[in-house]
């Protein structure tokens, strides 16, 4: 049975049923990984996308054979170096020969470095890319978007506004027109001793009137409990449309974001998807340790968001 996350994402995929529709082409950097191959096999078998697999040819074919996955329709480009494979995928997205790129058996830093290379033209002027995760947790009443768990190490207040922008774009691609954003911090009281509360208050202020930079409802600082539990919000006497009903969690930094992401997937058993927002093309960014299911969900999320690119 499909998870709530999978069902939602499938409902927002581009229409490929008409004769004029063109399937998206996804370039995968280092596709020699069982979970990546399994994910790709599912997408090929249902006609969701076409693939270019960059990596050691024989290893890719052996992995597919061992997994009983038919990749005969995919193009394979032989490349044994993961840095070179990442750069080739980025170059293909930049020149239009790929619509989406996907991280395979590559270190995140090497993959992101290729994306950031200005010569490939993947970033709009002054753009900030960021990791956007969508989580399906049984104890929450809707899908939950989390940022940033992988890229923005020490975001400033200005950066955090851009993190929200990227996350809001992903939210709109899955049907959330005006997302509710909770700026997460350890406590709700603004204190100079807790820098994340100062950032949260400053970000919230940016969205407090009609001059807000884009359409989103932002509030905070909120503890995580207040952001996602209406009961906790009521006990603490915190009202407003965001408390207990957040669509997006703006985490105070990458440490908290990464821990929350991995806690949901490994401890809570939540279904996850992760992409990069802010680039000219959708970018599928998952951990090398993520499951086939997580990689597949991430692929679906990238396809859903591709209509905005």
Residues 50 and 103 in one domain: yes
Which pLDDT score, from 0 to 100, does residue 133 have?
A: 97
Which pLDDT score, from 0 to 100, does residue 120 have?
A: 96
CATH code of the domain containing 144: 3.40.718.10
Q: pTM (2 decimals)?
A: 0.94
Domain containing residue 146: 127-278
Residues 53 and 83 in one domain: yes
Residues 157 and 136 in one domain: yes
CATH code of the domain containing 14: 3.40.50.10950
Residues 28 and 152 in one domain: no
Residues 170 and 213 in one domain: yes
Which pLDDT score, from 0 to 100, does residue 75 have?
A: 97
Domain count, the chain: 2
Which pLDDT score, from 0 to 100, does residue 10 have?
A: 94
Which pLDDT score, from 0 to 100, does residue 226 have?
A: 98
For every one of its 309 residues, what pLDDT tens digit does the chain have, with 9 covering 90 and above? 678 999 999 999 987 655 456 899 999 999 999 999 999 999 999 999 999 999 999 999 999 999 999 999 999 999 999 999 999 999 999 999 999 999 999 999 999 999 999 999 999 988 899 999 999 999 999 999 999 999 999 999 999 999 999 999 999 999 999 999 999 999 999 999 999 999 999 999 999 987 889 999 999 999 999 999 999 999 999 999 999 999 999 999 999 999 999 999 999 999 999 999 999 999 999 887 889 999 999 999 999 998 766
Residues 139 and 80 in one domain: no
Which pLDDT score, from 0 to 100, does residue 156 have?
A: 97
Residues 132 and 93 in one domain: no
Which pLDDT score, from 0 to 100, does residue 32 have?
A: 94
Residues 227 and 181 in one domain: yes
Which pLDDT score, from 0 to 100, does residue 222 have?
A: 98
Residues 180 and 201 in one domain: yes
Which pLDDT score, from 0 to 100, does residue 74 have?
A: 97
Residues 146 and 258 in one domain: yes
Which pLDDT score, from 0 to 100, does residue 18 have?
A: 52
Which pLDDT score, from 0 to 100, does residue 33 have?
A: 92
Residues 131 and 113 in one domain: no
CA dist., res. 105 & res. 1, Å (int) = 28
Residues 236 and 253 in one domain: yes
């Amino acid at each position: 049975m499909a998870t709530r996350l999978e069902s939602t994402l499938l409902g927002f995929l581009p229409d490929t049923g008409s004769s004029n529709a063109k399937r998206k082409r996804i370039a995968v950097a280092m596709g020699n990984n069982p979970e990546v191959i399994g994910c790709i096999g599912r997408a090929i078998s249902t006609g969701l996308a076409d693939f270019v697999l960059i990596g050691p040819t024989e290893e890719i074919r052996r992995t597919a054979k061992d997994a009983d996955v038919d990749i005969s329709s995919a193009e394979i480009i032989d490349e044994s170096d993961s840095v070179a494979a990442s750069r080739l995928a980025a170059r293909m997205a930049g020149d239009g020969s790929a619509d989406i790129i996907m991280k395979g058996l590559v270190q995140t830093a090497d993959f992101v470095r290729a994306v950031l290379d200005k010569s490939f033209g993947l970033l709009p002027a002054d753009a900030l890319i960021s990791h956007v995760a969508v989580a399906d947790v049984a104890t929450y009443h809707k899908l939950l978007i989390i940022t940033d768990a992988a890229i923005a190490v020490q975001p400033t207040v200005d950066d955090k506004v851009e993190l929200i922008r990227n996350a809001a774009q992903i939210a709109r691609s899955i049907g959330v027109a005006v997302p509710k954003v909770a700026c997460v911090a350890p406590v709700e009281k603004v204190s100079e001793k807790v820098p994340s509360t100062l950032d949260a208050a400053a970000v919230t202020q940016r969205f407090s009137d009609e001059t807000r930079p884009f359409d989103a409802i932002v509030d905070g600082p909120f503890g995580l409990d207040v952001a996602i539990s209406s009961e906790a919000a009521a006990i603490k006497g915190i009202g407003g449309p965001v408390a207990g009903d957040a669509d997006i969690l703006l985490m105070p930094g990458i440490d908290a974001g990464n821990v929350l992401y991995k806690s949901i997937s490994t401890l809570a058993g939540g279904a996850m998807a992760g992409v990069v927002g802010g680039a000219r093309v959708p970018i599928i960014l998952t951990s090398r340790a993520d499951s086939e299911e997580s990689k597949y969900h991430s692929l679906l999320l990238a396809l859903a968001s591709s209509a905005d690119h």
